């Protein structure tokens, strides 16, 4: 509502009648004074109502019997404070604990599945290394038995015999040195690393010596009979088969883990992931059901209305508690018409006078003007929210006030 105060001052003077007295002038001229300009002062005045900074009506998300009420009207609460609780908490806490255990088990299952999949690649690397060693050993065995078959199949010349004798001497010397090195550690524990290393060298030296003696004997015709030849051919065939198998295995390992093993490992991971997801969803649901038993303060404020007693049954979604934040007072007015609102702007200063306290004048500032209109009392109006910059302990929620918008 706009109230306009018009102050119009019209002063008329100078109407003088001709005087017939013969004092100074024979004729009187009319005297005219200037008329002041009319002054119009316009201010927008509106009615409003005191409201807190923020209010909220709270309700339980679940239905049930009220087990305890932890607050009273007038209590000041902080966000997260529990206002009241419903019964049945033990059962839901047990469900949460069970859900947490299932999540832990599902996480362990997934970890085991991922480790198994990784192991396929790790094992593949080890297998490649072992297969390369087998290929090297098999090639050496093939060469050795090829040489033996060749020696047993033909008459050796003196040069080969002399070479074989030299090899025996060298092999014997190496064997003696290996025996001397091993002797001090012969009584050590089998797990002793030095003993194990020296024993391995002794075994190699013994094998090399035996091979050298056997070769020399073959060349000299000492054991070069048909049986030895057939045996050498059989050993050559076995060595060649091992070489072929090792090379085939190496090619297979280079292609990666076995497709069936990979498929099985990936399937196990997928199953574990699904189980974990289901367990986590069940945990969220159990925790939500448990939290629904508590009515929690969602703002910092004072309990201004509490309709709740222990033992009563509550309906989900039905407001039973009202909280209000009285840390700051506001005025809301909804009767600024489309004609008035164009003269109002955010940050505009106002004076506020409560109807119940006409002697009190409070400073305020326009904070927001609604963009959405409402049709009230036949007018198009816009709700305006005003921050009161001064606080008086006598102010109460819902008090009506008169707002004067300063120019």
The per-residue DSSP string of 216-281 comes to HHHHHTSS-SHHHHHHHHHHHHHHHHHHHHHHHHHHHHHT-S-HHHHHHHHHHHHHHHHHHHHHHH
Task: Give the H/E segment covering residue 345.
Answer: none
Question: 66 has which bridge partners?
Answer: 86
Domains and CATH numbers, the chain: 43-59+319-405 (2.40.30.170), 100-267 (no CATH)
pLDDT by 10s per residue, the chain, length 407: 433 333 222 223 333 333 333 334 444 555 545 444 333 445 789 999 999 999 999 999 999 999 999 999 999 999 999 999 999 999 999 999 999 999 999 999 999 999 888 888 777 778 788 888 888 888 898 888 888 787 677 666 778 788 888 999 999 999 999 999 999 988 888 888 888 889 999 999 999 999 998 888 777 665 556 777 788 888 889 989 988 888 887 887 777 777 888 899 899 999 999 999 999 999 999 999 999 999 999 999 999 999 899 999 999 999 999 999 999 999 999 989 999 999 999 999 999 999 999 999 999 999 999 999 999 878 899 999 999 998 899 999 999 999 999 87
Note the pTM of the prediction, 2 decimals. Answer: 0.52
The pair of structure tokens assigned to 107 is 């996480």
The β-bridge partners of 57 are: 322
């Amino acid at each position: 509502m706009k109230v306009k105060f018009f102050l119009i001052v019209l002063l008329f003077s100078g109407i003088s009648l001709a005087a017939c007295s013969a004092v100074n002038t024979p004729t009187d001229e009319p005297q005219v004074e200037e008329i002041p300009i009319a002054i119009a002062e316009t201010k927008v005045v509106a009615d409003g109502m005191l409201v807190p900074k923020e209010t909220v009506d709270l309700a339980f998300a679940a239905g049930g019997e009220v087990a305890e009420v932890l607050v009273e009207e007038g209590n000041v609460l902080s966000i997260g404070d529990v206002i009241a609780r419903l019964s049945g908490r033990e059962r839901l806490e047990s469900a949460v604990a069970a859900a947490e255990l299932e999540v832990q088990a599902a996480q362990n299952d997934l970890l085991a599945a991922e480790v198994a999949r990784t192991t396929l690649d790790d094992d593949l690397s080890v297998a490649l290394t072992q297969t390369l060693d087998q290929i090297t050993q098999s090639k050496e065995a093939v060469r050795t038995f090829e040489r033996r078959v060749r020696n047993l199949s033909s008459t050796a010349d003196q040069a080969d015999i002399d070479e074989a004798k030299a090899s025996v001497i060298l092999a014997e010397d190496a064997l003696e040195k290996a025996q001397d090195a091993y002797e001090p550690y012969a009584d050590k524990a089998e797990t002793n690393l030095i003993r194990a290393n020296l024993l391995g060298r002794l075994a190699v030296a013994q094998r090399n010596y035996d091979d050298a003696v056997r070769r020399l004997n073959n060349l000299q015709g000492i054991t070069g009979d048909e049986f030895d030849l057939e045996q050498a051919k059989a050993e050559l065939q076995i060595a060649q088969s091992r070489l072929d198998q090792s090379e085939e295995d190496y090619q297979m390992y280079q292609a990666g883990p076995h497709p069936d093993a990979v498929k099985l490992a990936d399937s196990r991971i997928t199953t574990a992931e699904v189980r974990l997801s289901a367990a986590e969803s069940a945990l969220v649901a159990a925790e939500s059901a448990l939290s629904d038993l508590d009515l929690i303060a969602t703002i910092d404020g004072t309990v201004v209305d509490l309709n709740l007693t222990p033992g009563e049954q509550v309906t989900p979604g039905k407001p039973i508690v009202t909280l209000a934040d009285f840390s700051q007072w506001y005025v809301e007015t909804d009767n600024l018409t489309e004609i008035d609102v164009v003269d109002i702007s955010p940050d505009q200063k106002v004076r506020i006078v409560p109807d119940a306290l006409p002697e009190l004048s409070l400073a305020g500032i326009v904070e927001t003007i609604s963009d959405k209109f409402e049709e009230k009392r036949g007018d198009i109006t816009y709700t305006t929210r005003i921050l009161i910059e001064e606080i008086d302990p006598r102010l109460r929620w819902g008090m009506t006030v008169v707002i004067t918008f300063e120019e």
